[in-house]
Amino acid sequence: MRERGETLKELRAVIQEQLILVDLALYVISEGPVLRDGQWLACCLEPDQGRATGAVAMGAGQSLNTILRNSTERGLAVRDLYPIARSVVEGFINAAFFTTQPVEVSQRAFKHVQYAAWKHKNRVIGTGAFMMTLGDGPSPKPIAARLFPEFTGSGQDSWCSLNTPSKINCIGKVVRASGGAFLGAYAGIYSVSSEIIHGSVYGMSYFMSAHRGQELTHEAFQLATEEQMVDLLSAVGHAASGFIAAFANIHQFGPVILEEHDLFKRLFKCATGDEWVGGDPPGA
């Protein structure tokens, strides 16, 4: 197993190269075809698919840059990166979901933007004695049913009724490598980040002691947060891998498929200490 400092350095290097491929995808979606490695890469997504994919992938990429810029932190500051990492993972999962699913999924997401914006200013907040209503009317529900009928009814309030594992399953059925990478990202960050985001005792306990063993020193704590930084970078790296793999395979662009796979093998070695033995992608 390599030294932790070397592992962090390699993870940063992999993510920096992944961000180049994310930028490539965003450029192709928004600006048009690109000549790369002697081949033209042009966006094959429907316009609404491209808009939805580009929007959430750009947000995930921005947050990934934030994590990368703060990846040399030790100590308490590391805890604040867990919610950002969760955002990266979910953002790239949604971007790949839009990429791999029918255009109607993206179109519903855009319709949901209007509904969610209206609901933000027209809703009931709280319960019991601590309750308030935002908006002009006494009850937002009848108005919502009239203005946004497709988002009315049980289970219809969101742009997508699937939970995150179900989205990963749908993605993996189309691009197996993408689904596998997202599963690694989900397993690595989702549960712990939820505990930290929601302010649970376990969330704080995990952060303060999960990697410290029996040592109760300041330096042991600092070293523990470095190990948690490895976990964070591994998770967001898997998420970036999942999006890049989905985009490259949907577009059948061999050079990026192979480049992403090479980056994934480096990422896998950082995360596990072992060489990847899962085989090469088609056409390698």
- If one compares 15 and 284, the residue with the highest pLDDT of the two is 15
pTM for this one?
0.91
pLDDT digits 0-9 by tens, 33-83: 999 888 899 999 999 999 999 999 999 999 999 999 999 988 888 999 999
| 19, 244 contact by CB (below 8 A) | no
How many other C-beta atoms lie within 10 A of the C-beta of residue 33? 11
| 87, 238 contact by CB (below 8 A) | no
How far apart are the C-alpha atoms of 245 and 176, rounded to whole Å? 9
Q: Inform me whether the pLDDT recorded for 283 exceeds 60.
A: no
How far apart are the C-alpha atoms of 239 and 183, rounded to whole Å? 9
Of 83, 9, 13, 98, nearest in space to 52 by CA: 98
CA angle 114, 115, 118 (to 5 degrees): 85
Residue at 144: amino acid letter: A
Find residue 40's DSSP bridge partners.
35
pLDDT digits 0-9 by tens, 115-169: 899 888 888 888 888 878 787 777 788 888 888 888 888 778 889 999 999 999 9
Of 7, 18, 10, nearest in space to 65 by CA: 18
Mean pLDDT calculated for residue range 272-283: 72
| 122, 114 contact by CB (below 8 A) | no
CA angle 32, 88, 246 (to 5 degrees): 50
What is the 8-class DSSP label of residue 122? S
Of 183, 206, 209, nearest in space to 195 by CA: 206
Q: Inform me whether the pLDDT recorded for 247 exceeds 80.
A: yes
Of 113, 97, 118, nearest in space to 45 by CA: 97
| 32, 42 contact by CB (below 8 A) | yes
Contacts of 10 (CB under 8 A, 6+ apart): 2, 266, 270
How far apart are the C-alpha atoms of 51 and 56, rounded to whole Å? 9
Mean pLDDT calculated for residue range 167-191: 95
Question: Any alpha helices (H) in 140-252, and if so which ranges?
Answer: 140-147, 164-174, 176-197, 201-209, 218-250
How far apart are the C-alpha atoms of 182 and 156, rounded to whole Å? 25
Contacts of 133 (CB under 8 A, 6+ apart): 123, 124, 125, 139, 140
How far apart are the C-alpha atoms of 31 and 29, rounded to whole Å? 6
| 236, 270 contact by CB (below 8 A) | no
